[in-house]
């Protein structure tokens, strides 16, 4: 059975509380609401079951983690099946004793568990102390073949690395999904706030252009301790055009039509994949290239 060219992608932008049950129930309700609005694919924000706990290094936070499959992923899986939508859900995964990941689980529209992606790039910035909690992913960059197209999934900090977007696109992704938790630190917002949002948006739009894919970025919103998550969730097409953008301070669901036939058109008119010099990129596997490279 052929897949539709036109699919509706929903990005869910929501606030979170310290009550896990409340957050998961809200996410399930948002999936239902997105489906009612015509969504085929629903993308939840990074670590939606709770507050963004990585602002401090605290061993007690490991108690929040779950295996996958586990109670939260099974509730999301049931919602995907009930409403006939593909769902991307970002979770704090307990893989084994002492081994934890920031992981996205992907469920097809019939509820089938298609697999996971484990966040590859782990930040260590003020109030983003993720290296304390998360082991870097070890299953590579992946694409999931769903009822409504091929989804490539990366997570938040991955979005700053063109290599991650490229390698995911090369596995056949038509839509790159980036569950995100990005915001302003209170002392920095006034001076750097607009530039930070612009840089984030520009980077994501460049992934769409360079790879000829759609990009969907669901971000958190609301103030949590030292961070004001800036929302601004969006969907962008293969030309880098912003199709829809959410506000900075409100919960929202954007349901955006994506014409997947545009991918071939974009790639044949802007043939960046065709013109790649794969014979000349060995240096990308090095940390840095020292010395004179002109001789």
Residues known to be catalytic: 46, 119, 156
State CA 112 to chain mean position distance: 20
Distances from the Cα of 235 to the Cα of 53, 129, 159, 192, 240, angstroms = 27, 28, 14, 24, 9
154: exposed, middle or buried (Cβ count in 10 Å: 0-12, 13-18, 19+)? buried
Tell me how far apart the alpha carbons of residues 213 and 190 are, in angstroms, rounded to a whole number: 33
Residue 92 CB-density burial (10 A; 0-12 exposed, 13-18 middle, 19+ buried)? buried
Task: Cite the DSSP H helix spans in the chain.
Answer: 20-36, 71-83, 162-170, 189-211, 261-269
| Residue showing tokens 């108690």 | 63
Buried b (16+ CB within 10 A) or exposed e, 46-63: bbbbbbbbbbeeeeebee
Contact (Cβ atoms closer than 8 angstroms) between residue 141 and residue 119: no
Per-residue burial over 207-236, b if 16 or more Cβ lie within 10 Å, else e, is: bbbbbbbbbbbbbbbbebebbbbbbbbbbb
Can you tell me the distance from the alpha carbon of 268 to that of 191, in angstroms, rounded to the nearest whole number? 41
In 10 A of CB 203, how many CB atoms?
A: 16
Q: What is the dihedral of CA 235, 237, 239, 240, to 10 degrees?
A: 10
């Amino acid at each position: 059975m052929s897949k539709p060219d036109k699919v509706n992608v929903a990005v869910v932008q929501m606030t979170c509380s310290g009550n896990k049950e409340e957050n998961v129930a809200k996410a399930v309700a948002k999936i239902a609401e997105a489906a009612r609005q015509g969504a085929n694919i629903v993308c939840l924000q990074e670590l939606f079951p709770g507050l963004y706990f990585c602002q401090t290094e605290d061993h007690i936070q490991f108690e929040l983690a779950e295996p996958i499959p586990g109670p939260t992923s099974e509730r999301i899986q049931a919602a995907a099946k009930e409403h006939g939508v593909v769902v991307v859900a970002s979770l704090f995964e307990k893989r084994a004793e002492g081994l934890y990941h920031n992981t996205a689980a992907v469920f097809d529209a019939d509820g089938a568990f298609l697999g996971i992606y484990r966040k590859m790039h782990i930040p260590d910035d003020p109030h983003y102390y993720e290296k304390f909690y998360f082991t870097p992913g070890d299953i590579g960059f992946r694409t999931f073949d769903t009822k409504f197209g091929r989804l490539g999934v990366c997570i938040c900090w991955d979005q700053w690395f063109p290599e991650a977007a490229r390698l995911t696109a090369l596995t056949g992704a038509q839509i790159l999904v980036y569950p995100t938790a990005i915001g302003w630190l209170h002392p920095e917002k006034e001076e750097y706030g607009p530039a930070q949002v612009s840089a984030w948006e520009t980077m994501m739009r460049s992934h769409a252009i360079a790879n000829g894919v759609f990009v969907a970025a669901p971000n958190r919103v609301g103030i949590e301790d030292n961070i004001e998550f800036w929302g601004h969730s969006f969907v962008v097409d293969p030309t880098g055009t912003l199709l829809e953008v959410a506000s900075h301070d409100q919960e929202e669901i954007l349901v955006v039509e994506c014409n997947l036939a545009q991918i071939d058109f974009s790639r044949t008119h802007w043939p960046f994949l065709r013109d790649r010099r794969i014979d000349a990129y060995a240096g990308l596997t090095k940390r840095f290239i020292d010395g004179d490279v002109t001789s």
